[in-house]
Amino acid sequence: LLTIRDTVFPVIEIRDGTQEDHDDLENIFKDQTPSNVANLYEDFFIAKMIADKDENKKVLVGQVNDKAVGMLAISTDVNVKTLCMNYE
């Protein structure tokens, strides 16, 4: 059986994040993050992260039908020691 991806999954558009995406993205973050971890972040941290973008930091948003459904935050400033301490 061969099926076209669009018949199973919606088309996802990728674009630069905007501060207006905060509400949709915050709900996703809270739903998918343990509360003890989510509580470590300040209010509107996603909007602040998007506002602070520059040539070294960027937030990309995936959207379906004009609604943000996911995000990818990328940066050239990576603390490798912290990364290694938290992930295998």
Read off the pLDDT of residues 4-60 as tens digits, 9 standing for 90 and up.
877 888 889 999 999 999 999 998 988 888 888 888 888 898 999 999 999 999 999
Q: What share of the chain is helix, strand, coil (3-state, %, to 5)?
A: 40, 25, 35
Residues 6 or more apart whose CB falls under 8 angstroms from that of 74 comprise: 57, 58, 59, 60
**Rounded (5°) CA angle 44-12-52:** 30
Tell me the β-bridge partners of 61.
15, 71
Indicate whether this model's pTM tops 0.75: no
